Structure 1
Amino acid sequence: MLGFICYFVSKIFFKNLRTFPKEDTVKIGLKLAALLAIVFSLGRIGYAAQESRTQYPWWLKNSYIDFGVGYQHYPVSLGHFNTDSRISVRVPPLSVRLTLLGHNFSKSFSAQIMYLRPVKWVVYHEIDGISSARSPTNIAGLTGRWTTPLQGPVSLYWEGGLGVVTRNRASLYGRNLVEEANYPTVLTGLGAKYRLNRVWDIQLGGVYLPPKKKFHQPSTMAVSLGAVFNMRPLSADQVKERMVADRLFPKHLLQFGAATNRFGTGVNRFVSGKTMPIFWGGLAEVEKGYAARYQQNVFHGKKIFALDLGLSVGQWQSIGQKTSFVTFSAFPQFRFVLLRSKPADFYFSYSLAGPTYITKSEINGHQTGKRFTFQDLMGAGLYAGRQKEFNFEVGIGHYSNGNLFPRNAGIKIPLTFSAGYVFW
């Protein structure tokens, strides 16, 4: 079984490799060799410096993430833009707020990176209802937060800092109704938290961004209710209890993968569609490519959850114009072991918002933004062998800048078949 898997992956890998220009193949080989040598060395050093994989690493201790859903007041009207009476506008009020990572530097001060967007974009309709255009608008923020404890588990906070507003162009009949915009501004907010236990809080908060006349952008106010997950240091007993599971979670994983559009992109479409919107698609589609990835486990639970950090390099070729481009990424990987057995351990993995450098910003005529973007991955795989040292995985991928820039066509990576080896 394992031999067949390795043969299948290698066949796709080398077949894809032969289809790239010879000079590209040589360059890619050198890049792969250099990258893998560096990341493997750094991984071994990084692991040696870490006290335990069952305790949060130093850079995650006293950190947090949160997710909330709420109401966004975004008073867009036709008067803001150069439109006429044939156009109407629909502004959906439901919004989501996400803190990608926050850190408590003290009991009263923390800093965080946050993201705010409506669930559905603003849409401009022609009166007859035949044509429409949407204008994606979202907000990224880097803020400081000051917290004041009240009676019992309740605390109040106020925050302030940098906000970045990004708005995409909307056009009808070749006419721009809304021009693109990307500018920094001031973001302020306040809220309250209720502590449920050492790990979970309930949070009610709001933020405000002032209008920007230069870009005809109205003010934005958003209120959300959500949950906060706190990564407070684990007790000595908890750390000791989980250490017996160290052999269940690989320390280092080296993977080589080949992507192919031969089987279509039905999986990508299904998980990014209305039926199951848990991933992203993309206008620029990849025909084939390959990637090398290194992952190091930095934290794990008793049996199921593991957090890895990884580095990857990929060479891709698009459908249509055959645009070749390379990506270099650093990424977090969330792994959930769903079934353990003597022959193999089966898992589901998910990775999002991995900072990435991409060598092309236009692919198949689609503008994907700047050279900075993000990598997202989703897949399922297994560990097999006597020591569970062999790895096989099938997954899909996606690159986009998260609407940090007005141009964000997105890149769709088809089914990728990977084989790997575990270093304990």
Structure 2
Amino acid sequence: MEKKKQLDLASIATIPLTMTLANSILIPVLPSMQKAMGITAVQSSLLITAYAAVAILFIPIAGYLSDRIGRKKVILPGLLLVAAAGAFCGFAAISFDKPYALVMTGRLFQGLGAAGCFPVVLPLVGDLFKKEEDVSSGLGLVETANTFGKVLAPIIGSALAMWTWYMPFWFIPVFSLISFILVAVWVKAPKDKKPAVPFGQFVRNVISLFREKGRWIWGVYVAGGINMFAIFASLFYLSEILEERGSYGILKGCLVAIPLAALCSTSWAIGKWIGQNKKLMKWISVIGFIEAAVSLIFLAFGGRDSIWFIIILLFVGSIGLGAALPSLDALLTEGIEKDQRGTITSIYSSIRFLGVAAGPPLAALLIAHSKSSLFWLLTACCVAAALIALFTIKPKQA
């Protein structure tokens, strides 16, 4: 990897770290929020869903703008909005007896800020490097930062919740502003000397791209969305079951972080390994989803009496999901030309956020009915993702 760009990449990696913390930091605190605000488990899960739902709607717009006006001009305002919305949620929590509606409003605006941040990271990494193996390695680092945020989030969230339930909201602006400064100062995105393509021509180019490569692009889209759904549904289940069985505070955060540590380390290792081998990326994705399905099916059959048995199986499943993440990212980013990369990867990010949004509320509804039904659904989703990756992704076309 080009040494002079390592600092740029490290600064870029703070963006997914911040966006993940802005969402996942709340997961271990949701039971406390239910009690403090007098809301149900489904209502608390919507605090996660609201963030992701708004991002889903606006991510494609952010991707298009990043192709037209530049990556940093979209990312930096997004980071500021995430910081401001976090402070608004914290202020609402300390100022009102029943702050749920205002906190939900703040989370919606936070999702709007997130729409301009993480989705633009993937094409920015693709722009930064000329060699495909450097792009793969960079994307691996980005996914590692993303998953490392998920590892840190339950620990930090649980620690802050020991102070008070709304403290995580005040913590989000700190990370957002640090990321803003690093990106503003250190990231030097390459300047595109080509004139901007008129909007009509741009749309025709994108339609033509989907006609030519749509089969494998949609395969990557759907597999990525399923991956996020499986991760966040599992996290919500683990958080709820730990709270139900008397694990609180830092201990709970550390236990939730165990399967996420597997996700993080695997993403980093696979990103370093895959290089520009698209056939390897495909098969790692397929095998990763199969591994996740095998671990989840054990939980579907039962054996959930032991917390450690649950954590070990989620740890194994997270290895598979973590292996698929950088592989899918690299397939998409390296298979799309620079002038369309922002738009195409933004749709991918929207679908990933759809998985994030669906995970907690669906998990809450299924847990209330039957815990086995949640794991049967997750198993079926992972099997479907493996088959989609197997039959739609054609390395020679990517």
Which protein is bigger by CA-based radius of gyration? 1
Judging by fraction of residues, say which structure has more strand.
1
TM-score (norm 1): 0.23
